[in-house]
Each structure stands twice: as C-alpha cells, then as structure tokens.
Amino acid sequence: MGDPPNTVFDAESLMLLAREKSAESRSRLSQIIVDLFDNQASVLTERQRTLMYGILQTVIGDIESSVRQAVAGRLALMDDVPRELVSQLANDEANIAFPILSKSGLLRDNDLVEIIKLRTEEHMLAITMRRNVSETVTQALVDAGHEPVIISLLKNANAKISETTMEYLVEQSQRVDSFQEPILNRDDLNPQLAKRMFLWVSAALRQHIISEFDLDKSTVDELLEQVTSEEISGKPLPEKKKVDQLADVLKDEGLVTVDMLLTALNEGEVPLFIALFSKVTKLREHLVQRLLFEQGGEGLAITCKAIGMSPDEFARLFELSKVAKAGTQEEIEKRLPLVASFYEATPRKAAIDVLRLRHRGSDYLGALRELDVRLRDHGNA
C-alpha cells in the first residue's frame, strides 16, 4: 500500500512525483508523505515539513478519497499544519472531513460556522463531537435546525450552550421529545428551566427532575397543577390549541370512551386526557386538572362515578393519574384500596347530583367535600 516504515525524506523524489499528473503518482506521493509524518515526525526539519505541506496542498484535490481520508486522519491531530490545508480537508466529503472537523484544533469558530452554513448535516455532526464547542458554534448548529445534530450537541458535555440558546431548546422540547432527556442530563441546565420542563415531560423524566434537582413536595404539587394550564409564565402552551381541536374531533366522531381516556393517560398525554375528560363531564379544564392531581382522589372518584365508570376502570384511571404525578408504586399501593373503597360506597345518584351542581354554577368543590364528609360519617356510624 505504501513505502515501508523506514521511508527516507527525499525532496527531489517528492518533487518529481508532484510534477506527474496521474492519479496513481499523486496517491503514491500522498501516501509517502503520510508515512514520513508517521515515522519521522520528530526528526523532520521545519523546511522539510513546509515543503511536504506545500506539495500536499497542491495535489490533495486530485488524489482518491481513501488516500485523502488517511491524510486527514493523520493531520487532524497535528498542530503545525497550514490552516489552508486543514480548511480544504474540512470542506471535503463528510467521511474525509470527519477527523478534521471532530479533532483538529486549528479550525477557528468562523471556519466552523462557515462549514455549518455551507456543508451537510454529516459535517455538522462531526463538529458536535469536538472536544470544545464554543457558544458561537453551538448557536450556528442549533440555528441549522437538524434534530440529530442538536441531540448530538446536547450529549457533548463540553459544548458551551448560552442561556438564551438553552431556553430556546427547552421550549422546543415541548414538541421534540428526543431533546428532553439529553437536556435534562446536562450539568449546566438551569434548575428553573428543568422545572419548566416538568410540565410536559414523561412521568419517568419528571421523577428524574425531582431527584436531580431536589424539588420538594410542595414545589412538585404546584408544578403539577400547571401541567395543562393555559399559561406558563404568561405564555400560552403552543400545543394547547391542537389538543383542543383533537378533543373536539374525537367527541364529534363519538370516540371519547373510557378506553380512550385511559389510553391517553397511559401514554402520558395528560393535556389530551384533560381535554377529553372535560368534554365528557362538561367541567372546565382547570377544574378537571385539580381533580386529576388532588392528593386524596375522592373528587376524581365522585366525578368518575357520575359518568358511569366501573370500579375497575376507575381504579386503573386513579393509578395512571398517580403515575402521571410521578408518584411511587408504594404510594399507589397505599392509597388505591382507600379510594377504591370510597368509590364503591359512593351512590351514583349522589355523584350525579354533585356534578349537576357544578353545571349550574354552584360550588362544585364544596359539594364534593360535603359528599365526602357524609360518606365518611356514614361509614363510621
């Protein structure tokens, strides 16, 4: 493939090969130069290095890609290579440019930004793997908008991400689920942004936020009350309108069944569940939200009894509601028998009467509490 390891620097032979125009001679020339770098890097003089780099820069565009790739792999770790040669290789085909883009310390931010603007997604992925990625380069990568590139960037712990860019990515994670986990695993994530993400991530990631960012119970409860709120920090949830439209379509098609409600909750689609449950019960969504995440579950039990859920269906719904609230299996097992017993003891007529009170604009929560007290007193009699 190349000359043996004891290749000797011969300027005259190199110049002769450089004058030949065939692809074969130029590939051989490049391979000789690579072997010289590998075997005599410590003894080559500055003049010899300059000569070789000059020859290489002249012929590099005319040699086959496999040899260019080998050259790029050698030069990526060297710090005395002419920047013009490094830049030429960095703008080559993605597989050739990869070692230069991912490892060479000679490329400047403006070089990398230019490549991000003009080259392919594969070039960008290589840049995300650099030992250090500045905020400027990070911003250019994010602006390019390629999901795999952004995920790779987020996974690079040494990539510097400005607060503004991180805020943008956190907001984007509402619709791009694949951003959520790598964002939450970053050491530089602001705890306030993690709390914001609590409102739309899965139950498993909510548990991660609770443990990693040391949220107390009152904070968790407060956040859960906002999960489907129309406003977060004064801004409407971007998916809210779509969720309402989907709920309307499902209702019009007669598809809002108990199975549909359970499926939505089981898949972590809490906003959709609340929109659908609101359609079934004719309760305002903010009230459904409070019922879903209340500590005891009695209000949810009464409402489910009023719309005719079976005990097994309610038990499953209650369990899923606690999972959505990032509750532990121990908490579910402790509370479920109590609320299930309460559900069994609640007369459906009484539950319907309570629901009608709300439809008339009466104090629904007060009526729930009153019925709860009556049932408890009856049970203790």
Transcribe 202-260 into DSSP letters. -HHHHHHHHHHTT--HHHHHHHHTTTT-SEETTEE-TTHHHHHHHHHHHHHTT---HHH
Residue 41 lies in a domain: yes
Residues 296-354 pLDDT 10s: 788 889 899 999 999 999 999 998 888 776 666 777 888 889 889 989 988 888 888 87
Residue 188 lies in a domain: no
Last-in-domain residue among 90, 107, 124: 107
Find where tokens 């903010």 sit: 286
**Angle of helix 83-90 versus helix 94-103 axis, rounded to 10:** 130
Q: Decide: residue 42, CB within 10 A, 0-12 exposed, 13-18 middle, 19+ buried.
A: exposed
Nearest to 121 by CA among 144, 92, 88: 144
For residue 353, the model assigns a pLDDT of: 81
Last-in-domain residue among 107, 135, 166: 107
Least confident piece of the model among 32-41, 90-99, 117-126, 358-367? 358-367
Last-in-domain residue among 77, 107, 137: 107
- How many structural domains compose the chain? 2
Question: What is the band of 230 on the pLDDT scale with cuts at 50, 70, 90?
Answer: very low
Least confident piece of the model among 75-84, 89-98, 217-226? 217-226
Residue 206 lies in a domain: no
Residues 51-71 pLDDT 10s: 778 877 877 777 777 778 888
Residue 64 lies in a domain: yes
Residue 40 has pLDDT above 60, yes or no: no
Residue 317 lies in a domain: yes
Residues 163-196 pLDDT 10s: 999 999 999 998 888 999 999 999 999 988 988 8
For residue 6, the model assigns a pLDDT of: 45
Structural domain boundaries, residue 248 = 238-381
Residue 235 has pLDDT above 70, yes or no: no
